[in-house]
Chain A
């Protein structure tokens, strides 16, 4: 069973669009509210949009990201579903083929494994296998449930399984900004299946957003250069982008080390030129992913660098990810399972300075989850 770590989700008022249409640099919005706003806007702007998923209409509303929408748009458009992941994914595909834009939710990414047949054998192949005669426009939102004690089946970060399959676009929004830049554009204009991995730990975080992008044609799938630096390149996904920014900030402060940070964002179709350009500049690469390193994003980034220009690396690549085990529940083990900021900074300092005795002071040992209970953006 799923259990929320948030005792009460406060009732959220979806912010008015005009708030975000302004160029107010000081605008702050949580990841959750960014999601809720994009869901509401999708329903408001497109009659074809339907949100389908277990509990999308209940009082908790997918951690607050769909709360109140059924009252506003009705149960026909914000539709609770039976516990039938494969069937409902198939229903979404059929609906997409006949004119709807389904947004499907998996409150735990782990549950999407029940729908793998429909996602991989059908949604991913429908366009190609039938000679380009169909589009399957749909968004599947999957939440990486990592928080506290979620264990082996409620916390997995499964992006590489899907990114491996041609025909799918897989994104991992790392901030309110990337949600606001990605979801409306995808729903409006992209005609294929998109899988988005949202990270539970970020739902409560507040982010500054720059609203000037609204109405522009920025590529919703583009990777983002989120910090410039000359000493090392960190390629990161999802919440590891935030960790990368914290690590980079610490190193700059205590040692003057300047790290460049790239938010890979669309892990299935990253901007490899952006990555290569940075690695060729810094000569040092750290890949920080939310999942296992084996056969995943870490491995893929290494493949591309090795194929394109291995000579640009001055040092061996460093990868950060989950330990090669199912996720344990006991907190002492869970803290070892995920990389923390101290390990992140230590790895970076070792890489840049060249030996483990780098002498750079490390941040206090603190698990990432503890930090993100209180952490406030922005980056």
Chain B
């Protein structure tokens, strides 16, 4: 694959995620999606880059902001929209909604709405991979806020202690809900991670599609080869409010100028020709997925108490 082809492939995947979320925004006022959505718009390059080198058998554990990772890892778009619509054809039979997307058939494990809570799951899955001789790489995806939780420390420590094949991926958008990182942290994430003996890399520009993909792909290959944990922090930016489809620059906790400076580098804004070319087929795919969701049945009553124990 030439560099140009590779860029187009990455661009296509990122654009597909953006257009899916833009459709969610368009649909949201109609109230067909009756649960909270945490949009990844602005952060697509991280998810796309993170998943390039992962096989379907590699496992990834995400957060409530996981539309992008679900799609980048290969989750089914129809099942995603059906899940958002609360339909029984959804990826979790309508019991998960946006915050708990999952696609075990492609290795996207359960997403959790409790910050940092899936990080030890990735470590445990890596422990099982080691113990059972599986050639898997396991990825823990979390934000900068998660590094403040105690279980984050517990997970890093255990993974290094037992040399487990985990890639810790910190998707740093600088915000925990509405609180800035500087108001929350007195440590440097990378330096702190290195203090465990972790090899840790920083990607300053999370909007550079190719560099993000190349760097993380290299780290995935490295984990697969050396079977030891590795850490990467990617700086990125969230366009939308913490939860919901809107913008919130008027609320005062961040400035529109900050967004503007990121938007200047937004790869999906830089190539209108590519966008125009790819958009029709993606829109058609989204139309079909939305129609699938709309036409699907809601869960029947017996679903209420199914799969409890």
Contacts and interface: CB of A to CB of B under 8 A. Distances in A.
Interface of A: 48, 50, 76-77, 81-82, 84, 86-100, 102, 117-118, 121-122, 126-134, 166-169, 192, 269
- Give 9 closest A-B pairs by Cβ, nearest first: A94-B124, A90-B120, A87-B154, A131-B92, A94-B121, A132-B307, A131-B93, A98-B128, A84-B154
Contact of A96 (B94, B124, B309): B124
Contacts of B146: none
Residue from A84, A100, A131, A133 having most chain B Cβ neighbours under 10 A: A131
B98 to A, nearest CB: 13
Contacts of A94: 61, 120-128, 138
A107 B150 CA distance: 21
Nearest to A133: B104
Interface in B125-184: 125-129, 131-132, 134, 136, 138, 150-151, 153-155, 157-158, 161
Given A77-B131, A87-B153, 16 more contacts: A81-B158, A86-B151, A94-B126, A94-B128, A95-B125, A95-B131, A96-B128, A98-B134, A121-B112, A122-B112, A128-B95, A130-B95, A131-B91, A131-B93, A133-B91, A134-B109
Contact of B155 (A90, A121, A167): A90
A152 B117 CA distance: 29
A270 B256 CA distance: 58
B110 A100 contact: no
A91 B158 contact: yes
Interface in B67-123: 90-96, 100, 102, 104, 109-110, 112, 114, 117-123
Residue from A50, A81, A129, A168 having most chain B Cβ neighbours under 10 A: A129
B74 to A, nearest CB: 15
B284 interface: no
B132 A100 contact: yes
A95 B92 contact: no
Given A99-B132, A130-B92, A167 B309 contact: yes
Nearest to B166: A94
Contacts of A84: 151, 154, 157-158
B104 A134 contact: yes
B1 interface: no
Contacts of A48: 132
Contacts of A81: 158
Contact of B309 (A76, A77, A87, A192): A192
B96 A93 contact: no
A258 to B, nearest CB: 36
Contacts of B151: 84, 86-87, 90, 117-118
Interface of B: 59, 61, 90-96, 100, 102, 104, 109-110, 112, 114, 117-129, 131-132, 134, 136, 138, 150-151, 153-155, 157-158, 161, 306-309
Nearest to A192: B309
Contact of A82 (B92, B109, B118, B158): B158
A87 B117 contact: no
Residue from A77, A84, A91 having most chain B Cβ neighbours under 10 A: A91
A76 B127 CA distance: 10
A93 B158 contact: no
23 contacts: A84-B154, A87-B151, A87-B157, A88-B120, A88-B158, A90-B154, A94-B127, A95-B131, A98-B128, A99-B132, A100-B127, A102-B124, A118-B120, A121-B112, A121-B114, A121-B117, A126-B110, A130-B100, A131-B91, A131-B94, A133-B91, A133-B102, A167-B309
B119 A169 contact: no
A178 to B, nearest CB: 19
Contact of A90 (B124, B129, B153): B124
Contacts of B138: 94, 98
A150 B124 CA distance: 33
A77 B125 CA distance: 15
A128 B127 contact: no
A131 B96 contact: yes
Residue from B121, B126, B136, B157 having most chain A Cβ neighbours under 10 A: B121
A323 B309 CA distance: 32
Contacts of A129: 92, 95-96, 100, 110
Contacts of B104: 133-134
A115 to B, nearest CB: 10
Nearest to B152: A87
Contacts of A132: 93, 306-307
A76 B163 CA distance: 12
A96 to B, nearest CB: 7
Nearest to A94: B124
A100 B90 contact: no
Contacts of A117: 114, 117, 151
B255 to A, nearest CB: 35
A96 B121 CA distance: 9
Nearest to B119: A90
B155 A87 contact: yes
Contact of A91 (B59, B92, B123): B123
A82 B120 CA distance: 13
A82 B154 contact: yes
B123 A90 contact: yes
Contacts of B90: 131
B49 to A, nearest CB: 23
A93 B121 contact: yes
Given A90-B124, A132-B307, A100 B150 contact: no
Given A82-B154, A127-B308, A91 B100 contact: no
Contacts of B132: 48, 98-100
Given A94-B121, A121-B114, A122-B117, A88 B96 contact: no
